[in-house]
Chains A and B, each alone.
Chain A
Amino acid sequence: AQSVTQPDIHITVSEGASLELRCNYSYGATPYLFWYVQSPGQGLQLLLKYFSGDTLVQGIKGFEAEFKRSQSSFNLRKPSVHWSDAAEYFCAVGGNNDMRFGAGTRLTVKP
């Protein structure tokens, strides 16, 4: 069965510091992988996705993620965090008719 694990429930970084959010997945075939961001009380916004091809994918708001098949990982990175990046981040793995989400990582940004 497909599943997604986000090991870090909460991460705090200083504004301007780099960020890496971890995501590990379990899937029977080549997965479709996603990162979403959720601001408090809001829906989810797609940051980036991986379907195939280049394993380093660029997304919106300066985020990128790297698919590593050998590690079953799809970690999200940003070189310099802005205060507006404070939110909840969800990794997801999908098939044709469903998507499974991790439990989320809450990001706090210190001034």
Chain B
Amino acid sequence: SQTIHQWPATLVQPVGSPLSLECTVEGTSNPNLYWYRQAAGRGLQLLFYSVGIGQISSEVPQNLSASRPQDRQFILSSKKLLLSDSGFYLCAWSVQAPVAFFGQGTRLTVV
């Protein structure tokens, strides 16, 4: 069966520090991969999606970037975190788009 792993579960980082969140999917090939951010009390905002290795689409201009170095690996990065980057980050995958399955999320607090 397919599973999605997202880590770390929680992260506290100082302003100006770099960020790397990793997401991997098992049990499927060539999935669509997504990064969402959920700010407190708000819905989910699509940040990036990828339909294949090296193919990244960005939904909103921001301080973050994404990469897909392998078929089932999706990485969310930042060179310098801002306070406004705090939130709950969710990775998701789909094969029979657009049904998406979500990881357990990463709670990022920038201090």
Contact = CB atoms under 8 A, between A and B. Distances in A.
Interface string A1-24: 000101001000000000000000
Given A43-B105, A44-B90, A95 B98 contact: yes
Given A41-B105, A100-B46, A49 B51 contact: no
Interface residues of A, number: 26
Interface residues of B, number: 26
Interface of A: 4, 6, 9, 32, 34, 36, 41-46, 49, 90, 92, 94-104
A101 B32 contact: no
Given A44-B102, A98-B34, A101-B43, 14 more contacts: A9-B41, A41-B105, A42-B104, A43-B104, A43-B105, A44-B44, A44-B92, A46-B99, A46-B100, A49-B99, A90-B43, A92-B44, A98-B49, A101-B36
